[in-house]
Chain A
Amino acid sequence: MLTARSAAPRPAVVEPPPAVPRPRRRRLGAVWPYLLIAPTVLGAAFLLVYPLVRNTVMSFQHFGLGELIRGGATWVGFANYRTVLDDPEFWTVVRRTLWWTGLNVVLIMVLGTLVALMLNRLGRRMRLAVMSGLVLTWATPVIAATTIFQWLFQSRFGVVNWTLVKLGFDSYRDYTWFAHGGSTFAILVVLVVWQSVPFAALTLYGGLTTIPVELYESARIDGAGAWQSFRLVTFPMLRPLFALVTSLEVIWCFKAFTQIWVISEGGPNGATTTLPVYAFQIAQSLHKYDLGAAVSTLTVLILLAALVFNLRRMFRQEGAL
């Protein structure tokens, strides 16, 4: 950092232009930037760094309801992590979380890509209509969506059961979707995919419009079919965009909490408990804040791969960093 100032040419993009020289108040002027960022730094220190540190410290302590009320938590080293990692339920939850994330992300990416390709081929008016529909889905608040889906899949008067019965699946008459683990899991997947496809589709469509038509033209002349021109032209051209959207969706699906908590609280019988829900359950329902903190820390560690990938991309975009 010290040598950076004298180091010669710095990248031009983000560098602020040289300020108007004002030698008179140079000493005082040098303090200003630090005063300006002080509120941000203070906010981050108290509301982000401190909770993170507190979480990590708590995961190495014995911290139950008693310690929460009276204080005086004792240091126990890695005991909490050992307890968590020895518990077969934790590994069931990890497997379920990976399955949940994988299933959601694959569905989102496949459907998002198909919708993007479709948008690219539609006429102007139809395209505008579909895009407006996607934006509407995107704009729907998560809590509104969870409420709507509970109504759609309601057992007695829900429109989904009515449709299924009309289509001849008579076993769905008054079917209670939220009483069964599998069907609750399926509804949550449908909900998350429904809410996430618009972002993926619109972003990928934005990328598609930047691919020169000539590339497809020459691919066709070389005898490429639809699949080949996707595999050999579209995908390579949009590889960075695909990587970006996929990694964002991995992060979002992995740490999805609100949808699951509002619809099922991880139930029935733990069938929809993913890692963030598991950590919250242990801490809030069982008052084992230490174990909850350990699970949270492990969740962040598992997420770190996807997070680091995204950070590196952001820095590269910045160039200067």
Chain B
Amino acid sequence: MTALSTGKAPLRALPRRRPRLSRLPLNLAALFTLAVSVFPVYWMVVTAFKPAADIQSDTPSFLPLHPTMAHFGTAVHSPGFGTFWRNSLTVTLSAVLMSLVVALLSAFAVGRMRWRGRRAFILMVFVAQMAPWEALLIPMYVIARDTDMLDRLSMLTLVYFMTTLPFTIVTLRGFLAAIPVELEEAAQVDGCTRPQAFRRVTFPLLAPGLLSTSLFGFITAWNEFAFANTLIIKNQDARTLPVWLSSFSNVFGTDWGATMAASSMFMLPVLVVFLVLQNRVTSGMTAGAVKG
């Protein structure tokens, strides 16, 4: 163990100095973990591409030997498929956009202004972030019924707006705090009004933060099932994708290929968002904006 004395010891140098053979169990464990974490999703995709005869065979094939797009065709052409996609997209995007605008206003007030009650407000946001939404299904249903909002996408949009709002405020506030206020002040010295300074200087720097925050909100709203299942009951055309997918046996019967194809398509946007997030979150745009 000379790693320390050479002075260039990387953090994980210590265990790596072991002889190769003793690392075998470790690597086998790693492969096992990898297999367990990937297999279910892999199995979904493989099933989606397998012809029906291969799916309903007594010995499953673990590779898509005869790939086919037939199941995706079945899923896409199932009744209401387009409507449910449109519903999900409408609800998710409007909720995320609403919470982004509302949260930006609050984050600005909290991060850039001094006012009485500011701390109480932050406290409220934190409490709201821990709200037990699962326990609010019943009152929300009763309220929606009383106000004639049952079976309406606008009600669902409002609920998703509120579920994502506290988190959006907290993260946007964090991103805002990372942008030096001196930049805004400099713009104001140069003759900008305060809104102008915010719009022209801070807002562009905040863009990556806005993007990643909204993507997290997107995932939350896109995947939500409980409220969509409770608040949309009679009007089946107003259902969203999670509710539709959860009733796959009514839609596809025992057609597992089509079910897995629908499931894969539902998962795809989330996966794309995750990939985008990985690159965007880390990109620090203010790096180098202020020297000294």
Contact = CB atoms under 8 A, between A and B. Distances in A.
Q: Do A and B bind each other?
A: yes
Interface of A: 1-2, 4-5, 14-20, 30, 32-34, 36-37, 39-41, 43-44, 47-48, 50-52, 54-55, 58, 63, 68, 71, 115, 118, 120-123, 126-127, 129-130, 133-137, 139-149, 151-152, 154, 156-157, 159, 162, 194, 197-198, 209, 213-214, 216-217, 251, 255, 257-258, 261-262, 276, 279-280, 283-284, 289, 292-293, 296-297, 299-300, 303, 307, 310-311, 314-315, 318, 320-321
Contact of A151 (B11, B47, B127): B47
B132 interface: yes
A293 B138 CA distance: 7
B60 A157 contact: yes
Given A36-B108, A43-B161, A147-B259, A18 B113 contact: no
Given A130-B37, A149-B40, 17 more contacts: A17-B181, A33-B115, A37-B106, A37-B121, A44-B162, A47-B158, A51-B140, A55-B136, A122-B26, A139-B274, A140-B41, A143-B225, A143-B241, A197-B37, A284-B141, A315-B126, A321-B119
A5 B116 contact: yes
Contacts of A118: 26, 29-30, 33
A311 B1 CA distance: 44
Contacts of B91: none
B289 interface: no
A194 B40 contact: yes
Interface string B247-258: 010000000100
B122 A54 contact: no
B256 A151 contact: yes
Nearest to B129: A314
B4 A213 contact: yes
A43 B162 contact: yes
A20 B188 contact: yes
B1 A217 contact: yes
Contact of A143 (B131, B146, B245): B245
Interface stretch (B64-72, B204-212, B264-272): B264-272
B126 A314 contact: yes
Given A4-B119, A37-B106, A44 B128 contact: yes
11 contacts: A4-B116, A16-B110, A36-B105, A39-B105, A40-B125, A48-B162, A118-B30, A134-B37, A140-B270, A146-B246, A321-B123
Contacts of B140: 51
Contact of A54 (B23, B40, B139, B222): B139
Contacts of A20: 185, 188, 194
B14 A40 contact: no
A interface majority secondary structure: helix
Interface in B191-240: 194, 219, 222-223, 225-226, 229-230
Nearest to A67: B142
Contacts of A129: 30, 34
A205 B139 CA distance: 40
Which of the listed residues A37, A41, A44 has the most CB atoms from chain B within 10 Å of its own CB?
A37
A230 B100 CA distance: 43
Contact of A47 (B117, B162, B185): B162
Nearest to A54: B139
A307 B115 CA distance: 28
Contact of B223 (A133, A141, A159, A213): A141
A48 B131 CA distance: 8
B21 to A, nearest CB: 14
Contacts of B117: 1
Given A50-B143, A143-B266, A293-B139, A152 B40 contact: yes
Interface in B173-194: 177, 181, 185, 188, 194
B77 to A, nearest CB: 19
Contact of A262 (B139, B177, B225): B225
B56 interface: yes
Contact of A135 (B159, B260, B274): B274
B226 A257 contact: yes
Contacts of B287: none
Contact of A214 (B4, B41, B194, B241): B4
Given A39-B105, A40-B105, A48-B128, A151 B139 contact: no
A255 B132 contact: yes
B132 A299 contact: yes
A35 to B, nearest CB: 8
Contacts of B16: 121, 123
B112 A19 contact: yes
Contacts of A297: 135
B225 A142 contact: yes
B26 A121 contact: yes
Contacts of B60: 157, 159, 162
Contacts of B138: 55, 58, 279-280, 283-284, 289, 292-293, 296
Given A133-B37, A147-B263, A213 B139 contact: no
B148 interface: no
B114 interface: yes
B135 A279 contact: yes
Contacts of B132: 255, 299-300, 303, 307
